[in-house]
A and B are shown apart, each in its own frame.
Chain A
């Protein structure tokens, strides 16, 4: 149980376009989802915390207008990279927690974004 999926696994886009990444909890309802960014050979950096039905909380230095997060249901959160540029190329990982006292984060497999 507690499986988190991400779609797509890889995406290549042209500079200036927008890209949407989906994060789904497959067998549980996730009260909270997190979005991370991981550069090559570096650690995961938390970008934002997403709670179902409310606005995401962004970490310092993360542009909320650049990285739009929507958590419309208890099983789906989306991250949209708007007007993508080559420096946005990275590995984006989501995680989800069940809540209600169970705080273990379950991670998705990640999405590799390459902006040309």
Chain B
């Protein structure tokens, strides 16, 4: 069965520190991986997807098929990055998203 694991419920860092939010997945085929972000009192929105290979708001994520990981990274965290981050995968078809449990990122001044 497909599964997404985000081992950290909370990641607390100071402004300017590097950030890495971990995501591992299990799927025997070739999934599409996504990172979604939910800022306080806002709806869930797409942050980035692995097929785009782009950097959004300074965040990047590389799909590592050998380690079945899709960790989200940012070299210098900003206070406005504080939010809930969800890793998700889809296996195509009707594009069903399977979400991880989420990691709350708290960036302190």
Tell me the A residues contacting B by CB distance below 8 Å: 4, 32, 34, 42-46, 49, 51, 57, 93, 95, 97, 103-105, 107-110
The complex places the Cα of A108 from the Cα of B20 at a distance, in Å, of: 28
B46-A43 in contact (CB<8A): no
B residues adjacent to A (C-beta < 8 A): 42-46, 49, 86, 90, 94-102
Cβ-defined contact, A105 with B94, below 8 A: no
Given contacts A93-B44, A109-B43, contact A32 B97 (CB under 8 A): no
CB distance from A32 to the nearest CB of B (A): 6
**What B residues does A49 contact at CB under 8 A?**
94, 96
CB distance B101 to A43 under 8 Å? yes
Contact assessment for A107 and B86 in the assembled complex, using a CB-CB cutoff below 8 Å: no
Chain A facing B: main interface SS:
strand
Among B46, B97, B102, the residue within 8 A (CB) of A46 is: B97
Most interface-central of B45, B95, B102 (chain A CB within 10 A): B95
Q: Looking at the complex, which one of B90, B94, B99 makes contact with A44 (CB distance below 8 Å)?
A: B99
> In the complex, which residue of chain A has the Cβ closest to the Cβ of B95?
A103
Check B43–A108 contact: CB distance below 8 A. Answer: yes
Besides A43-B102, A104-B46, 16 more A-B contacts (Cβ < 8 Å) are A4-B43, A32-B95, A42-B101, A43-B86, A44-B44, A44-B97, A46-B96, A46-B98, A49-B94, A51-B94, A93-B44, A97-B95, A105-B95, A107-B43, A108-B43, A110-B43
